[in-house]
Amino acid sequence: MSRVLTGTVVGSGHHRLVSVPREQHDPVVRDLLDRATAEAYERGLREGHERGAAAGAARSIERLDELSAAIVTAVESAARAVRASCDDTVEAAFELATAMAAGILDHEPHDGGAAVAARIRETLGLLEDATPVVQVSVEDRDLVAAALADVRAVTVTADPGLAPGEARIRGGWADADLTRETAFSSIRRALHGDG
């Protein structure tokens, strides 16, 4: 016992660590110290690995969350860009389709009123009005009046504001507009999905 207490005293206060040179320990104490040192080393190594793995896993989760947020932001940004590009493409296609329709309708060869007379006759059948007034261009008035002579109570008048091939029908209950502008409006609504 005296050999254990004869070393250097380290520390202050109530707790003191007494150190004895290793060579002075008896073999049993030396063996106990070696085993305790080895166990403490292994325990410290194991705890260090566990703490390091836990800290690494926590940091990996944080980093994964950061990367996930960055990916979501990038995907949302790309989706907005694709939607904007699609909207631009749809708008360009709409403008092209409208221009094509206008070009076709504006360059339709005029047949003297035969086509508009057929459209007027068909529309009159849908309106079921007792005394409709049909307005057509000055150029179409005579042919349309002759084509509708067999339709009872129809009045055909010339409207200088209407282009050849256009007509308006006014009735007591309903009106019909067979002008190019109305056709263009219908095309625009159909292309935009509004009707």
Q: Are residues 51 and 116 in the same domain?
A: no
pLDDT tens column, 160-181: 999 999 999 998 888 999 998 8
Does the pLDDT of residue 8 top 50, yes or no? no
pTM tops 0.95:
no
Does the pLDDT of residue 32 top 90, yes or no? no
- Which alpha helices (DSSP H) does the chain contain, by range? 27-106, 114-127, 141-147, 180-192
Does the pLDDT of residue 24 top 70, yes or no? no
C-alpha closest to that of 127 among 71, 175, 55:
175
Is residue 127 within 8 Å of 167, Cβ to Cβ? no
Instruction: Give the type of residue at 157.
Output: T
In a domain, residue 106? The reply is: no
Does the pLDDT of residue 7 top 50, yes or no? no
In a domain, residue 90? The reply is: no
Range of the domain at 188: 111-192
In a domain, residue 80? The reply is: no
pLDDT at 16 (0 to 100)? 56
In a domain, residue 85? The reply is: no
C-alpha closest to that of 125 among 187, 184, 169, 163:
169
pLDDT at 37 (0 to 100)? 84
Contacts of 139 (CB under 8 A, 6+ apart): 110, 112, 113, 164
In a domain, residue 61? The reply is: yes
pLDDT tens column, 64-81: 888 888 888 988 999 898
Residue labelled with tokens 């070393």: 7
Euclidean distance between CA atoms 170 and 137, whole angstroms: 15
Contacts of 133 (CB under 8 A, 6+ apart): 154, 155, 157, 169, 170, 171
The arithmetic mean of pLDDT across residues 122-147, rounded, is 91
Q: Are residues 180 and 121 in the same domain?
A: yes
Does the pLDDT of residue 6 top 50, yes or no? no
CATH number for 150: 3.30.2320.30
Q: Are residues 47 and 115 in the same domain?
A: no
Contacts of 130 (CB under 8 A, 6+ apart): 153, 171, 172
Q: Is 142 helix (H, G, I), strand (E, B) or coil?
A: helix
Euclidean distance between CA atoms 173 and 152, whole angstroms: 17
Q: Supply the mean pLDDT for the chain.
A: 81
In a domain, residue 93? The reply is: no
pLDDT at 21 (0 to 100)? 66
In a domain, residue 98? The reply is: no
Q: Are residues 61 and 117 in the same domain?
A: no
Q: How many domains does the chain have?
A: 2
Euclidean distance between CA atoms 120 and 106, whole angstroms: 19
The arithmetic mean of pLDDT across residues 12-32, rounded, is 66
In a domain, residue 164? The reply is: yes
Q: Are residues 183 and 118 in the same domain?
A: yes
Of the three residues 68, 90, 120, the one that is the final residue of a domain is 68
